[in-house]
Amino acid sequence: MTPTRLTLALTATTVMLATNLYAATTAHADDPSVPPGTEATAAAPVELDANDPDLKLPEGATLAEPKVLDIKQVVEDQSGDERREDTNADVKFALQAEVLFGKDSARLGAQAKARIVAIAAEIKTQNATTIRVFGFTDNLGSSAHGDVLSRQRANAVHGILESELNDPGITFEVRGYGEQYPIADNSTEAGRKKNRRVEISFPRGDA
């Protein structure tokens, strides 16, 4: 190959490589799987001056005592019928009333009992000795009726838990709050459905 042809071949190859590199870079920047602002960059990291006075505590100052933040994790099933909340200290299950009871009823069906038995197993795993069972309703109907119905439903759930756990060392706190403490908007049926619930909560153990 003559020197002229060799030079042209190398030039063409260089142009192709440069084009491919530019195309690859552009494709990466536009890649929807990469969140904006997290694209790779060739820029050097910001340098910090270890002697900068703004990075030092003022004379005589001390750091606050370390504190563990109470992180809450909330898991709700796709239908929204059941929700579990976990914090550093407690576990709470919120079961919608429609899953447990018929309309305006405090009688538990077989499927509802099975779900409560599963929660009892979790209580055993956590070695909990204090259990709260709280009933709630929406704001339809009279407040007095909601108070009574929510307490009756809490009592029904408590009865299954007490029978399943069968431990005289466990203390139960059972209350019916009626329409108090809504967790959703009572102006919509979807919100009212969330508010009609029974909550079972207990301290987290070392398990």
Q: What is the pLDDT of residues 11-36, one digit of tens each?
A: 444 434 344 434 444 434 444 444 44
Residue with tokens 């709280």: 134
Residue with tokens 């055993």: 124
Binned at pLDDT 50, 70 and 90, residue 129 comes out as: very high
pLDDT score of 159? 96
pLDDT score of 16? 44
**pTM over 0.85, yes/no:** no
Between helix 143-165 and helix 110-126 the angle, nearest 10°, is 60
**Distance in Å from the first CA to the final CA of the chain:** 77
Q: What is the pLDDT of residues 62-115, one digit of tens each?
A: 777 776 666 767 776 666 678 888 888 899 999 988 888 888 899 998 889 999
Residue 164 tokens, joined: 């399943």
pLDDT score of 162? 96
Sorted by sequence, the CB contacts under 8 Å of residue 161 that are 6+ apart come out as 116, 119, 120, 123, 131, 133, 172, 200
Residue 45 tokens, joined: 């990291």
On the question of pLDDT at 156 being above 60, the answer is: yes
pLDDT score of 142? 92
Binned at pLDDT 50, 70 and 90, residue 39 comes out as: low
CA 78 to chain centre: 13
The answer to whether 151 touches 135, Cβ cutoff 8 Å, is yes
Question: What is the phi/psi pair of residue 201, to 5°?
Answer: -135, 150
In whole numbers, what is the pLDDT of the chain averaged over residues?
78
